[in-house]
Amino acid sequence: MFFNTANLFNLEVDLIFYDTTTASFQIDAEDHSEADPNATLRKFGRCKEGGWAPQVVVALAVTRDGIPVRSWVLPGNTADVTTVEKVRADLRGWNLGRAMFVADAGMNSEDNRVELAKACGKYLLACRMASISEINLKVLSKRGRYTKFKDNLYAKEIIVGDGERRRRYILCYNPKQAQRQRSHRQLIIELLEAELATHKDHSATAQWAIELLASRRFKKYLRTTKGGLIRIDRAAVGKAAKYDGKWVIETNDDTISLEDAACGYKSLMVIERCFRSLKRTQIKMVPMYHWASRRIVSHVKICVLALLIERIAKMTCGMSWHHIQRNLETLQITEFFDLKYRVLMRNEVTTEARNILKSLKIKVPKQLIHAEKTA
């Protein structure tokens, strides 16, 4: 299927990205092979959305454009780093120029990097900018010009350390995202200023102050003084501005270009959108009501096939799936019948639906679908 897809759509498969998600089940106990050898996948694990429940791990290998080329369904207690060795072995026969593990900051730890280097070889990991002193002191403060690759993507390379301790960081900057974050933060500060102005008592023990300090939206920009008063934390506001539109990537691959590294992590965002579509918004892989392992695997494979069709349609038409779906839903069949005849006819095709079908190289359905004599 992979090679047929690659040939059909002329996919760029030199660089393969890999990521995992979880699909949980609303059951009380995990599977035990001793009780039923046909049910072995549903195991307790930490869900990506949070919580602890019986689940399966779904892994995807995708191109940089988010086209799924292979999927895996693994037991729910499988750690991300232990999946990489199996994935790497399965991809080895594809004669790819390069396979790389791309993951977000939750995967980036010293132990995980060692395991990834052993199993997968090369990785591209996001970093927590605010919590790592090395990034704050040596990466974000590093002087030097950005290289512009697109209107909304700038990047520069920073090397920290020497020899075996050498680490390669890619600092990326998106001016449009920076402007959005500045505007959003300014709006929050204006709301806080307005809220503080409406209260004479600024004690941190007041009910309104407690609610603000507990709010995920506002608490990071607030502080409590020694006198027990609530104030806007201007230092926190200034510190947050330092990260506007920026993200940092760490990689152990010295051969990957600056552009590929910067675009590679943006491709991870495409994978995350794929998972979101797969699980919740469009295809809705979960909730899943199967218990037999083969049925769970089949269910996931069918959903991934649907994701492949969705991604190809979006790329071919140059529009969102929601827009494609909304226009194609205008195609309807009407049933006409009387005592003697029954006829199925297509309605008039809108210009938008006709253009979509033309882009996808699908023939417009004939107007007379079916006619039969009933008496």
% of the chain with per-residue pLDDT over 70:
89
Sheet of strand 101-103: strand arrangement: 101-103, 123-126, 246-251, 167-173, 153-160, 147-150
Please tell me which residue, 151 or 245, carries the higher pLDDT value. 245
pLDDT at 7: 62
Most confident of 47-51, 112-116, 139-143, 353-357: 353-357
Strand partners for 373: 341
Q: What are phi and psi of 81, to 5 degrees?
A: -70, -25
Q: What is the pLDDT of residue 236?
A: 92
CA distance 24 to 77: 11
- pLDDT at residue 374 greater than cutoff 60: yes
Selected residue with higher pLDDT from 318 and 282: 318
CB-based contacts of 128, cutoff 8 Å, min separation 6:
105, 108, 135
Cα–Cα distance measured from residue 279 to residue 47, given in angstroms and rounded to the nearest whole number: 13
Average pLDDT over residues 271-278: 79
**142 exposure class (CB count in 10 Å sphere: 0-12, 13-18, 19+):** middle
**Cα(145)–Cα(142) distance, rounded to whole angstroms?**
10
Distance between CA atoms of residues 208 and 196, nearest Å? 10
Of 75-79, 133-137, 332-336, highest mean pLDDT: 332-336
**Greater model confidence, 78 or 121:** 78
Reduce the secondary structure of the chain to three states and give it as a string. Answer: CHHHHHHHHCCCCCEEEEEEEEEECCCCCCCCCCCCCCCCCCEEEECCCCCEEEEEEEEEEECCCCCEEEEEEEECCCCHHHHHHHHHHHHHHHCCCEECEEECHHHCCHHHHHHHHHHCCCEEEECCCCCCHHHHHHHCCCCCCCEEEECCEEEEEEEECCHHHCEEEEEEECHHHHHHHHHHHHHHHHHHHHHHHCCCCCECCCHHHHHHHHCCCCHHHEEECCCCEEEECHHHHHHHHCCCCEEEEEECCCCCCHHHHHHHHHHHHHHHHHHHHHHHHCCCCCCCCCCCHHHHHHHHHHHHHHHHHHHHHHHHHCCCHHHHHHHHCCCCEEEEECCCEEEEEECCCCHHHHHHHHHCCCCCCCCEEEEEECC
Q: What is the mean pLDDT of the chain?
A: 85
What was the pLDDT predicted at 119?
A: 58
Which class would CATH give 2-124+256-317? alpha beta
Question: What pTM value is reported for the model?
Answer: 0.72
| Residue 104, token pair as written in the block | 């977000």
Question: What residues contact 352, with CB distance under 8 A and at least 6 apart?
Answer: 327, 330
pLDDT tens-digit readout, 237-260 = 998 998 999 989 888 888 888 888
All structural domains of the chain with their residue ranges: 2-124+256-317, 176-241, 328-373
Residues 41/58, Cβ–Cβ less than 8 Å: no
Q: Is the pLDDT of residue 134 over 60?
A: yes
